[in-house]
């Protein structure tokens, strides 16, 4: 032992005390002495004494009583007591001493080596006990401070030996209740999961290992998912005498898995719908393309019909792409509203104009009711008209032919409400809560084929929220029609005559006045540059029909030579040419001394605001997104 080990030698016999002190000091121990019980107790309170060598017979306090006081005091309970006696040496005396708390009892005469051996044995025992106690304390601190529940059960009795405090927060029940009823944890397992867990628990003596996930029912009725892992604890003979368990709360993980599964399902459903919606227009476009070359007496009529079909289907495809891009931009916060004062009457008028062809084609009656005054809101007129047009389009689409569509505008304090009501197929009650979700599809009337990606209402709802408004839906049920109500904050109201006249003054010249006079002069020469030969040739044919003189090339390297030879008034350039930067090509043309004055029109599939900005900076005079409307194309060419 080390010299730091301090021993207290208590004996009222000076000679005996001296002899024992010399023996202990000779063995390398530090020794303090006391001749009575009172002094001994005071010295023990110092707290640095490892062992008390205590004589039973003391003048003031009996040695057995001194031992009892040492052992019952929490501050000194771990101090070792080795009792000795020269008079009380019988078997009963030893038993009485040991029952009084002594760690050992020696009867005189005591040999020096026997005394030292007993002291060393007791100190080794204490070292082992201290190491075990420190290990248990570290274990307890670890298990007390982890979020998982740690358990220990005996085998085969399955008696609870330990459970960490996390049980209370995970199971929603106190540790005390579990200690009183160790099987109560199983009662909290969800009834559907309990039989499987009971089977695993019953077989733990033979199969002391499992990894299971199950639900538990908390006292408030809510559910919690846990992962429970059980593993064996073996003794020196490699026999299982305990099992340990680690139980983790995996509720959040399960919720995320559910969200991921739902997202994956939505993704698959969306891709299937998108494929369907893209293929639907492609089939009539392909057939119409075949009819364009048809001859015979009805050839001209068939070709005209084919052109109508292609135009209509291309418009449909463009609409799908625009909706998808709008949703993506809103989700990423990239849509910027161009806010201005907007008259609700003009919004309704534009929406009616947009949905008018479909309403007329399905022979619906449209009834629009507006207040006498003009109601002004702050917002983006294009986006507001787009939103109302979508609602009218849906009303026309989901109402059987010959239906009634009503638009009612009303004022409620500082809010304007626009209700679009139809007598169509209606909405089931359980669908009302999810009708504004992305990719939600509703049933269509028997005379209509399913169409759309199910993003229109979600797009409208988000656009209105960006305007500080909201969209709601009501329906009495299937077959009883539906009502979609837009609410927007009112900016101001005004008398309608002056406001309407102001609005008319702001409109561009009537389209009727644009009777194609640009085509009546000399033919404007156009150079088309596009690597899609089919698209380029079709545009050249159209431009010829429109009165332009078009020349084409799919080779960007020929632009300068062709432009120098033909001297076009306009160059229509595809930005995404293979191996060529369309923007840099535009800069080169604008820097060319002979070609710099030629009007440049970008015709591209890149249509974001950033793409338009880059085109303008590169020198393009106009930017058209494929497929361009004929009117837009004509305006871009005319400048």
Does residue 53 lie within any of the structural domains? Answer: yes
Rounded Cα distance between 454 and 451, Å, is: 8
Q: Which residue has the tokens 């840099």?
A: 584
Cβ–Cβ under 8 Å, residues 55 and 16? yes
CATH of the domain at 367: 3.30.565.10
Residue 517 is assigned to a structural domain of this protein: no
Per-residue tokens: 141: 């601190």
Question: Does a structural domain hold residue 257?
Answer: no
pLDDT of residue 589: 92
Count of structural domains within the chain? 5
Instruction: Note the pLDDT of residue 502.
Output: 43
Q: Which long-range contacts (CB under 8 A, 24 or more apart) does 509-516 make?
A: 516/547
pTM of the full structure: 0.44
Q: Give the model confidence (pLDDT) of 426-461 as tens digits.
A: 888 877 776 776 555 554 444 444 445 456 787 788
Q: Quick check: is 513 in a domain?
A: no
Q: How confident is the model at residue 510 (pLDDT cuts 50, 70, 90)?
A: very low
DSSP states of 5-30: -EEEEE-S-HHHHHHHHHHHHHTT-E
Q: What distance, in Å, lies between the first and last C-alpha atoms of the chain?
A: 105
Mark which of 141, 175, 193 sits at the end of a domain: 141
CA 77 and chain centroid, separation: 56
Task: Supply the DSSP string of 310-376, one letter for each residue.
Answer: HHHHHHHHHHHHHHHHHHHHHHTT------EEEEHHHHHHHHHHHHHHHHHHTT-EEEEE--SSEEE
277 within some domain: yes
Q: On the CB side of 566, how many CA atoms lie within 13 Å of its CA?
A: 22
Tell me which of 115 and 324 has the higher pLDDT: 115
Whether residue 532 sits in one domain with residue 625: yes
**Final residue in a domain of this structure, among 300, 331, 362:** 331
Q: At what angle do helices 582-591 and 609-618 cross, to 10 degrees?
A: 30
258 occurs within a structural domain: no
Question: Do 442 and 461 share a domain, yes or no?
Answer: yes
Letter string b/e over residues 509-520, b meaning 16 or more CB atoms within 10 A of that residue's CB: eeeeeeeeebee
- Looking at the structure, tell me whether residues 357 and 429 fall in a common domain: yes
Q: Answer yes or no: is pLDDT of 235 > 80.
A: yes
Residues 37 and 75 both lie in one domain = yes
**Residues 371 and 434 grouped into a single domain:** yes
Nearest 5°: the CA angle 406, 409, 413 is: 150
- CATH code of 308's domain: 1.10.287
Same domain, 352 and 460: yes
Note the pLDDT tens digit of each residue in 145-165: 788 999 889 888 888 988 888
Last residue in a domain, options 307, 331, 355: 331
DSSP-derived secondary structure letter, 557: G
pLDDT tens digits, one per residue of 41-85: 999 998 789 999 999 889 999 889 999 999 999 888 889 999 988
Q: What is the chain's alpha carbon radius of gyration, rounded to the nearest angstrom?
A: 46
Which SS3 state, helix, strand or coil, does residue 521 take? coil
**Same domain for 442 and 422:** yes
Question: Domain containing 287: what range?
Answer: 265-331
- Report the CATH number at residue 75: 3.40.50.2300
Q: Is there a single domain that holds both residue 80 and residue 171? A: no
Residue 193 maps to a domain: yes
H-run or E-run covering 130:
helix 112-144
12 located within any domain: yes
Give yes or no: residues 326 and 355 share one domain: no
Indicate whether 360 and 273 sit together in one domain.
no
Alpha-carbon distances, residue 394 vs 274, 361, 386, 398, 568 (angstroms): 19, 14, 12, 6, 45
Q: Tell me how far apart the alpha carbons of residues 498 and 480 are, in angstroms, rounded to a whole number.
A: 40
Distance of alpha carbon 351 from alpha carbon 470, whole angstroms = 18
pLDDT of 597-627, one tens digit each? Answer: 999 999 887 777 788 889 999 999 999 887 7
pLDDT the model gives residue 355 = 84
Contact between 243 and 232 under an 8 Å Cβ cutoff? The reply is yes
Q: Are 163 and 308 part of one and the same domain?
A: no
pLDDT tens, residue by residue, 559-611: 999 899 989 999 999 887 766 788 889 999 999 999 999 999 998 877 777 88
Q: Both 198 and 306 in a single domain?
A: no
pLDDT in tens, 469-506: 999 999 998 889 999 999 999 999 888 764 444 444 43
Q: In degrees, to the nearest 5, what angle opens at C-alpha 340 toward C-alphas 334 and 341?
A: 145
d(CA 25, CA 3): 9
Pick the closest to residue 546 from 624, 623, 635 (CA basis).
635
The position carrying tokens 């005559």 is: 497
Sheet strands side by side (includes 6-10) = 30-34, 6-10, 51-55, 80-85, 104-107
């Amino acid at each position: 032992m080390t010299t730091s080990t301090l021993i207290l030698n208590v004996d009222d016999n000076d000679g005996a005390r001296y002899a024992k002190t010399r023996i202990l000091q000779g063995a390398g121990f530090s020794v303090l002495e006391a001749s009575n019980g009172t002094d001994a107790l005071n010295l023990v309170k110092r707290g640095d004494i490892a062992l008390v060598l205590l004589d039973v017979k003391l003048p003031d306090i009996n040695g057995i009583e001194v031992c009892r006081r040492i052992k019952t005091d929490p501050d000194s309970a771990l101090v070792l007591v080795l009792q000795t006696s020269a008079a009380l040496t019988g078997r009963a005396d030893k038993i009485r001493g040991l029952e009084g708390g002594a760690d050992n009892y020696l009867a005189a005469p005591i040999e020096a080596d026997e005394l030292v051996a007993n002291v060393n044995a007791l100190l080794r025992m204490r070292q082992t006990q201290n190491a075990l106690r420190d290990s248990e304390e570290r274990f307890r601190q670890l298990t007390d401070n982890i979020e998982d529940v740690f358990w220990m059960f005996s085998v085969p009795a399955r008696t609870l030996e330990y459970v960490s405090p996390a049980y209370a927060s995970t199971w929603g029940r106190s540790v005390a209740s579990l200690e009183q009823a160790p099987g109560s944890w199983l009662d909290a397992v969800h009834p559907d999961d309990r039989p499987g867990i009971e089977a695993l628990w019953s077989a733990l003596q033979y199969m002391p290992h499992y990894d299971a996930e199950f639900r538990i029912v908390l006292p408030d009725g809510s559910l919690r998912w846990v992962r429970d892992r059980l593993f064996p604890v073996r003794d020196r003979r490699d026999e299982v005498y305990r099992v340990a368990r680690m139980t983790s709360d995996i509720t959040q993980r399960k919720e995320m898995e559910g969200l991921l599964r739902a997202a994956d399902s939505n993704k698959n459903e969306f891709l299937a719908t998108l494929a369907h919606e893209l293929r639907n227009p492609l089939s009539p476009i392909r057939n119409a393309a075949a009819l364009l070359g048809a001859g015979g007496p009805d050839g001209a009529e068939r070709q005209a019909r084919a052109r109508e079909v292609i135009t209509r289907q291309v418009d449909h495809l463009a609409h799908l792409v625009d909706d998808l891009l709008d949703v993506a931009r809103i989700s990423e916060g990239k849509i910027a509203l161009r806010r201005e004062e907007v008259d609700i009457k003009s919004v309704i008028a534009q929406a009616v104009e947009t949905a008018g062809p479909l309403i007329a084609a399905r022979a619906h009656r449209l009834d629009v009711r507006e207040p006498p005054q003009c109601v002004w809101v702050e917002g983006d007129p294009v986006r507001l008209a787009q939103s109302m047009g979508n609602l009218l389009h849906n009303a026309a689409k989901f109402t059987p032919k010959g239906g009634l569509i009503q638009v009612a505008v009303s004022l409620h304090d500082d809010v304007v409400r626009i209700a679009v009501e139809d007598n169509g197929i209606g909405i089931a009650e359980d669908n009302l809560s999810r009708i504004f979700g992305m990719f939600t599809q509703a049933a269509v009337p028997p005379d209509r084929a399913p169409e759309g990606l199910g993003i229109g209402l979600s797009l409208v709802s988000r656009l209105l929220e960006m305007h500080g408004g909201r969209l709601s839906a009501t329906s009495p049920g299937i077959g009883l029609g539906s009502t979609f109500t837009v609410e927007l904050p009112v900016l101001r109201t005004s008398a309608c005559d002056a406001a309407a006249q102001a609005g008319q003054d702001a409109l561009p010249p009537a389209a009727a006045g644009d009777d194609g006079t640009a085509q009546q002069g000399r033919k404007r020469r156009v150079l088309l540059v596009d690597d899609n030969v089919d698209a380029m040739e079709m545009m050249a044919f159209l431009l010829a029909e429109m009165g332009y003189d078009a020349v084409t090339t799919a080779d960007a390297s020929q632009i300068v030579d062709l432009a120098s030879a033909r001297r076009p008034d306009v160059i229509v350039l595809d930005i995404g040419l293979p191996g060529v930067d369309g923007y840099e090509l535009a800069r080169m043309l604008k820097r060319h001394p002979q070609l710099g004055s030629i009007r440049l029109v970008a015709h591209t599939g890149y249509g974001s605001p950033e793409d338009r900005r880059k085109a303008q900076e590169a020198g393009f005079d106009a930017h058209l997104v494929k497929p361009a409307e004929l009117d837009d194309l004509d305006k871009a060419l005319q400048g």
